[in-house]
Structure 1
């Protein structure tokens, strides 16, 4: 008799910087979601695929739900809520190195309206705390659920960075999914278009070491990805043209850096990752442009893909 095969969609939620993207990458076994110490790094629902002999997990990494200050912020929150309603399981991430606060309680309250779905509580970043602190954190997670009438299907402590209990989490998620066929072919890690992944790689490189106000103002689009025509078959080169948008001229200066040093650094870091992703040598052409107050302008948001 054949084994039961399970498949379905799992959404990780949590306040910004709760470790959702790092956990998604650890489960998939490759980098498909960008990670940064900056809140609001994730800007769309990234799907990562976990293939197992007994099932397939489709992980949806969403932006952190937050108090919106711009039209972009409102649209990101709408995206989060619509994703919650469509998935089979919701996993709420509670970083172990931070106490459960108003932001977490707000999220738990929001989740309490989805009563028919299994809810997992995931204590992330366990490598950063002592066993005593982790025990207190797990007790606080139980209490946060009880306060809003949620009984967690599972409470799982993990460290995505150290790889601790990541496989256990995958097993438990799979056990809670319905029986069903695979949604995606074996070996595929994400359903993101290559252009989206390339744009995200550049945005992640540009986010490193910048001032607090800049991350929200950064948007990246890929203008074109075309093979260089005059190259021999055994020495291909892909021309990748990318625009990095900021909201003000002063921010443009920050990204370009003194005598273009920072932009060259962004280009070098990005190119290596893009070549690894696409499996071909790349000529990366970066341009920094100003799109004034794009986060608040519906027309510009559409142009930039939001």
Structure 2
């Protein structure tokens, strides 16, 4: 786990604005001075309580399969963002929420940044291009997750990402989140990567740089603490127990799709049509659901059954465990495969 603070870069820039962390510390100090004053019996304590609440909205931006969903799940201690080892798992933006006693962090998990050509080639939804743009306009901080394990791209921020960063307001802080650093044996090389990513051909406005391994959790607690300290005094967007803005049905579909991406080869899982056929909340709060997975052909249907015969029960159990933890209720999932219906 590593954390780089680019203090020297801040000194030589013309801006004299304090960083989010400095602003948060200054705010805390001012509040301590405020409470040195005598308390009157007529004081409105409800307003004081509201003022103590803080929140921060963070967008995580990056290329497909950089580890955005995995990082957010680690940050909030729940697997609410569907994640897999394959690209294009996240197909539209969703929000994941972490609450402490006084602070709310709202993370926006965005689809991987792609080109217009990739959208056409892979028949991707328009959300792959629209959702990152919309998310950047709604947040306080933007984290650029960069996968340093990809040898061809580890020293380069692609133009598609840079173009999105250029649309930000000048006062929106950006963080460079270098992921999968555990796969780099020579740690000195990480400094070389930093110089390239923040140089003339990179993004020179990063406020801070974090070295992470989202999968292993290395460096995640430092990033979480940094964001908590950077939160702004304001009311929360969500209730205390909220983990995500996704409906349970949406979460079930996304997690089933991610599970299929991990167990099926090549392009097969991308061609499946996953539908919620039945969803019911029982009197005890538990959930029964029936997920229909439609295969585009009879041949593919038989191939999938052969591939999944030994894995289907394990996959369903894993999906149930994840959903039960997220929804804090018992969830029973039945996965049914069938060839595409002929109309």
Instruction: Choose from 138, 155, 168 the match for 2:194.
Output: 138
RMSD: 2.9
Secondary structure, counterpart of 2:232 in structure 1: coil
Alpha-carbon distance between aligned partners in 2 of 1:93 and 1:137, rounded to the nearest angstrom: 13
Secondary structure, counterpart of 1:185 in structure 2: coil
Once the two structures are TM-superposed, the CA of residue 249 in structure 1 deviates from its matched residue by 4.1
Instruction: Choose from 288, 293, 296 the match for 2:338.
Output: 288
Is the alpha carbon distance of 1:62 and 1:251 closer, same or farther for their aligned partners in structure 2, counting shifts above 3 Å?
farther
Gaps of 5+ in 1: 293-306
The equivalent of 1:129 in structure 2 is 184
Indicate if the aligned counterparts of 1:15 and 1:64 stay in contact, CA closer than 8 A. yes
Secondary structure, counterpart of 1:257 in structure 2: helix
Instruction: Choose from 49, 65, 90 the match for 1:17.
Output: 65
TM-score of the superposed pair, with normalisation by structure 2: 0.72
The equivalent of 1:243 in structure 2 is 292
Once the two structures are TM-superposed, the CA of residue 127 in structure 1 deviates from its matched residue by 1.9
Secondary structure, counterpart of 1:18 in structure 2: coil
Alpha-carbon distance between aligned partners in 1 of 2:55 and 2:262, rounded to the nearest angstrom: 36
- Describe how 1:49-60 pairs up with structure 2 within 5 A: 49-60=97-108
Gaps of 5+ in 2: 1-34, 36-47
Query: Would you say how many aligned residue pairs link Structure 1 and Structure 2?
Result: 285
Secondary structure, counterpart of 1:212 in structure 2: coil
The equivalent of 1:35 in structure 2 is 83
Larger radius of gyration: 2
The equivalent of 2:140 in structure 1 is 88
The equivalent of 1:188 in structure 2 is 242
- Describe how 1:1-306 pairs up with structure 2 within 5 A: 1=35, 5-66=53-114, 67-68=118-119, 69=121, 71-98=123-150, 99-100=153-154, 104-116=158-170, 117-130=172-185, 131-143=187-199, 146-147=200-201, 150-226=204-280, 238-257=287-306, 260-261=309-310, 263-278=312-327, 279-280=329-330, 282=332, 284-290=334-340
TM-score of the superposed pair, with normalisation by structure 1: 0.80
Secondary structure, counterpart of 1:208 in structure 2: helix
Is the alpha carbon distance of 1:264 and 1:4 closer, same or farther for their aligned partners in structure 2, counting shifts above 3 Å?
closer
